[in-house]
Amino acid sequence: MEEYDEKLDGKFIKEFLNPYIKDVYKDLSLRSLAPNAVKEKKVDRVTFISYCNLPGIISERLLKIFDNNNDGMITEGSFLSNLTKIFVSDFDTRLRFTFNM
Question: 24-43, pLDDT tens digit by residue?
Answer: 999 999 999 888 887 888 99
Q: Among the residues of the chain, which ranges form H helices?
A: 6-12, 18-31, 35-40, 45-52, 56-66, 76-87, 91-100
> Which structural domain, as residue segments, surrounds residue 83?
6-100
Give a yes or no: residue 65 inside a domain.
Answer: yes
Give a yes or no: residue 21 inside a domain.
Answer: yes
What's the structural domain count of the chain? 1
Give a yes or no: residue 79 inside a domain.
Answer: yes
Give a yes or no: residue 53 inside a domain.
Answer: yes
Give a yes or no: residue 90 inside a domain.
Answer: yes
Q: How many residues make up the chain in this entry?
A: 101
Torsion-angle region of 72 (φ positive above 0: left; ψ -120 to 50: alpha; else: beta): left
- In DSSP terms, 73 is beta-bridged to 44
Does the pLDDT at position 4 exceed 80? no
Question: 57-80, pLDDT tens digit by residue?
Answer: 999 999 999 998 899 899 999 999
CATH number at residue 50: 1.10.238
Give a yes or no: residue 1 inside a domain.
Answer: no
